[in-house]
Amino acid sequence: MTAVTVWASTGVEVANANVVWWIWPLSLFIFTFLLGIVAVLGGVGGGVLYVPIVSGFFPFHLDFVRAAGLFVALASSLAAGPGLLKRNLANLRLALPVALIASSAAIVGAMLGLALPTNIVQLLLGITIISIVIIMVLAKKSDFPDVPKPDALSQSLKIMGIYREESLGKNVEWCIHRTMKGLSMFIIIGIMAGMFGLGAGWANVPVLNLMMGVPLKISVATSSFLLSITDTSAAWIYLNEGAVLPIIVVPSIAGIMCGAMIGAQLLAKTRPRVIRWIVIALLLFAGMKAVLKGLGIG
C-alpha cells in the first residue's frame, strides 16, 4: 500500500483533496492575517497560536504545520529584531549566550519531533499548549525585578545594561542573577520550540524576567529577537528533511506579518485585557483538540 493510499484512507483528507487547491492557501492567508491581529493585541507571538490551531483545523500534516510555524515565528522575529536592537531594548549580550543554548537544543527538538510518531507529537503539543495556558493565567510579571547582587557568571560576561524608561522619564540600570539556572532552562525551551514549531516567547519571558531578573521590557524585547536565532536552527532541520511546503509557509508568513501591522495600529484603540482572555480561550480550545487528536478521538 503506498503512502498516498494510507493517507487517503482516512476519509476527511479525501474530502479536502476534492476542494479547489487555492481555497486552502487563501483561507490560510485570511486566518493568519486575523491571527496576526489577535496575537499582537493579546500580547503573544503568532507562532504559539499558529501550530495548534492550524494543525487542528486545516488539512495539512503536522510536520508541515510545525515547519511553517517555525518560519512564521522566525519571520516575525526577524522583522522585529532591527528596531528592538537599535532602541537597546533587545540586548545582544544577554541574547547571545541564551541563543547558543536554545538553538542547539532546538535542533534536538526538531529531530525528535520529526522522528516521533505524529500522534505522540500531537498529544505532547496539546499538553504543552494547555501548560502554556496555565502559565499565561498564573505567571506574574515584574516590571523591575529585584536583583540584590549580580552573580559571578553574569559579571564575567558583562550581562547588564541601561535603558531609557519613557514611562518613568528616567534611565533604568539592570543586571541579572541566577544566570546558570536560567541558561539551563533554555535547554528545555529550545527542545520544545524545535519539536513543536512554536515561538517560545511564552517561556522565554518568564525565565528572563522572573528567574534571571531582567526588566520586563528588556525580557520581552530580547525574547522577540532571540526567536530569530533559536528558530533558525530548527527551521533548517525541517527544511533539510523536506518538511517545508511553500504553499503553506508563504501565505502564513504574509498573513501574519500583515495582520501584525494592523494589530499594532489597533493596539491603541482596543482593550488588550479582553483580547488576552480570548487568546487564552483559543489556546485552551486548540490544546484540547490537539490532545484529543493525539489520542485518536479528535
Partner 1 sequence: MNSNKTKTSEEQIAYANVLNVAMWTGLSILVVTFIVYLSGVLPTFIPIEDMPKYWGMASKDFIHHFQAPTGWGWLAMVGKGDYLTFVGIALLAGLTVLCYLVILPILMRKKDIPYVVIAIFEVAVLVLAASGILKSGGH
Question: What are the angstrom distances between the C-alpha of 75 and each of 100, 229, 231?
Answer: 19, 11, 10
Q: Does 86 bind partner 1 (CB under 8 A)?
A: yes
Interface positions, 157-196, toward partner 1 (CB under 8 A): 157, 162-164, 170-171
- Residue 142 DSSP class: -
Which range in 47-55, 142-150, 156-164, 213-221 contacts partner 1 by CB under 8 A?
156-164
27, 34, 43, 79: residue in contact with partner 1 (rule CB under 8 A): 79
- Residue with cell string 550581562: 159
34, 239, 261, 288: residue in contact with partner 1 (rule CB under 8 A): 239
Distance CA(100)–CA(205), nearest Å, equals 17
At closest approach, how far in Å is the CB of 97 from partner 1? 6
Q: How far apart are the first and last CA of the chain?
A: 25
202: how many CB neighbours lie within 10 A of its CB?
24
Taking alpha carbons only, the member of 31, 62, 67 closest to residue 239 is 67
Interface positions, 1-30, toward partner 1 (CB under 8 A): 2-4, 6-8, 10, 13, 16-21, 24
Smaller CB distance to partner 1: residue 85 or 262? 85
Q: Does 258 bind partner 1 (CB under 8 A)?
A: no
Which range in 35-43, 251-259, 261-269, 279-287 contacts partner 1 by CB under 8 A?
251-259
114: phi then psi, degrees, rounded to nearest 5: -80, -20
**What is the Cβ-side half-sphere exposure of residue 298, based on CA atoms within 13 angstroms?**
19
Q: Does 64 bind partner 1 (CB under 8 A)?
A: yes
At closest approach, how far in Å is the CB of 214 from partner 1? 16
Contacts 24+ apart (CB under 8 A), 21-24: 24/58, 24/59, 24/60
Count of chain residues binding partner 1 (CB under 8 A)? 83
At closest approach, how far in Å is the CB of 220 from partner 1? 17
Taking alpha carbons only, the member of 86, 85, 133, 72 closest to residue 259 is 72
Which range in 82-90, 135-143, 204-212, 289-297 contacts partner 1 by CB under 8 A?
82-90
Q: Does 250 bind partner 1 (CB under 8 A)?
A: yes
Contact 74, 160 (CB under 8 A): no
174: phi then psi, degrees, rounded to nearest 5: -140, 155
Smaller CB distance to partner 1: residue 70 or 132? 70
Taking alpha carbons only, the member of 273, 261, 260, 293 closest to residue 49 is 260
At closest approach, how far in Å is the CB of 168 from partner 1? 12
Q: Does 265 bind partner 1 (CB under 8 A)?
A: no
107, 160, 262, 280: residue in contact with partner 1 (rule CB under 8 A): 107
